Structure 1
Amino acid sequence: MSSFEPNAIVRGAQLTVVGTLRALRNPQLFQHEHFRQAALAVVGGIVIQLIVQIPIIIIKLFIWMASWVSDLDRATWDDEVIGGLNFLSNSVLQVPFLLMTLMRYITPTLDDIFMLSLKWVDRTYIEKHETENPHHLRAMYYQNLASYPTKRGSGSKSKKPTTEALLAFFRRYARKVGMWVGIYALSLLPVVGRFVMPAASFYTVKKSIGTVPAAVIFGSGIILPKRYIVLFLHTYYASRSLMRELLDPYFSRIKFDKDQKRKWFRDREGVLFGFAFAFTVVLKTPFIGVLMYGIAQASTAYLVTKITDPPPAPEKSEGFAQSQVAWTNKHDFLQLSLDKLDKFNIKPEEAQQVSVDTGLAPSPGKKFS
């Protein structure tokens, strides 16, 4: 349980709160184009949700009409059908999350929000430590990270990477939908069906939390109503998917290979789950969830500064990705109090160099608003 221990999840939840409060202090955040596009996404979500609900309403109407000629009080198939339709709509298709994720591949708005917030995090860091020796402060994240080319830029040369990224997303989405539909269908089988959801939970979390805790979840899944284990599985998978998408602006610049990226996530999965959990719940809220996606993206900028090192200039980046695979000060960081979260960002041996034209270096006595 070294990566998914309870204090790692709690620390991730704490970073959610602190990161959100930091992001909301940024006066430029709500002036961003994202929130106009999010409003359009709300309208689009309503339309798509109505389209999804049409067959569900028709089937519910059919079941209601069937109750006129057949006694359904003792039957269970109608409850299973309605439950399956609600499961498909709320847990499988996840229309709001799908819309916001697609927006990432169509427009750079969410990437811009991440970089805007990263610059704000650097500014507030300097403000917080303005009375300290500037040579003892950490390097800035925004200045160097903004210099890295992204996998998806603008112009004709970037069309192929964007198309490939979209295809990769739809493949992941199709696999997830297929998996959820398959698991739910198997859970409807007589006798063995009651063990399907608990077994899926055991298999899902065994590598992350260990065999004994996974076995406890398996046993609980057999005893508790199926809706609880469905809620658990959905939250777990949705949090992982959300965190992957929120970190896309970072990984589109710092080039990790597949094995490095997998190990990077593995070493931080407890904190990442704790960070994404609250946002996963909020994003399921109709209409409000779509608007909150931008806040989640902004908060991720703060998270990155706590679980990674400041990136070097692009020309000095060779070997940097490999150096970030293992979170070297993880256990010490998890023990820090909230007011000491910057402790491991202070590096006395490194002089802080901040370009004047970035607006990040404060003059003596200057306070950032």
Structure 2
Amino acid sequence: MRQNKPEIKKQIRLLLTSSRGYINLGRIESLRNNSQYDFYIVGVDIFGDKYKLPILDEQIQIPADNERKYIGMIKKITTEKMIDVILPASDAEVEIISKNKKLLKKMGVGTVCSSYLVTHSAVNKANMLLFLKEKKVDVPKFFIPESIKELILAAKKLGYPKKPIIIKPAFASGNRGVWLIKENFSKELLHSRGIPRISIDEFVKQVGKLKHFPKIVLMEYLSGDEYSVDGLGEKGNPIYVIPRVRVSPLPGYSQEALIHENKEVKEYVEQICRAFGFDSIFNVQLKYGEDGKPKVYEINPRISATAVANTAAGVDLLLFSILKELKITYPKNIQPKKIRMIRFWKEFYTDN
């Protein structure tokens, strides 16, 4: 009996930025495990010790201190390695890549991100909150102080010291630079694994040592359930919006999460997608406030750290976002199934 020849997969040559990031193993494995496409993956990162994850095809060091040199190197690599599409995996890089989206498109290279205007507005926490407030989208109470005097006044307006508040940089990835401002810590300070805590007096004291007042956002503390919601938009039309409850969040990452239907959260994030006009993969992080409503506190206009969990739920959002950019048809009506994700670390070794 004649056996059928195995189907040859179509190759997609992909450039992955920040490829030495802790959570890239899941992304790479997800792309490797799909049944339709053969991914040749070139990783780029600022680390220069020549180590690469074994499941990467290549690893190349790139400059980090100069935007012009960075994009020049990206153009050189995409040409030499015949790259089809770029997957930016950090906030700083998605801004640079989106700024050069049209240029890269002329070179025949796709970019998995929205336009620069959309990306720049979403990635900056201050700009994001101001934009959505103007669009009549419900956001947390917030202030953007420009001096210590304004900072103290804003804290009082947010209910401090009776209520804790959040202070964060206007631009920073994940939970970097985020502080919980609280007057009384008790024993919780010694056992907390969450964001660092500090009193307003101590924060003001440290800020006063700086030459210039930093660009920060003061925001009400959201104490309810926390969601990380992945989405895929086409010119502002939400194709997929998949809510994921952060069961055991570490600062900046989900250690354990549960994908399940939440109509209220889904409709809220669809509203955000339309407001910004997202035209690629994106991620919205939100928590429920004391009024019982979901409120966004951060947006990642790029692939999120835990986006591959959607693949296990039946919706390969990472693959679909790549296919969309390459103008390849992809499914648009899959219903994600309920699934729980638990993250474990894995070690790699080298004699370099």
Question: TM range, normalised to the smaller chain?
Answer: under 0.3
Q: Which has the higher helix share?
A: 1
What TM-score, normalized by structure 2, do the two folds share?
0.26
Q: Which has the higher strand share?
A: 2
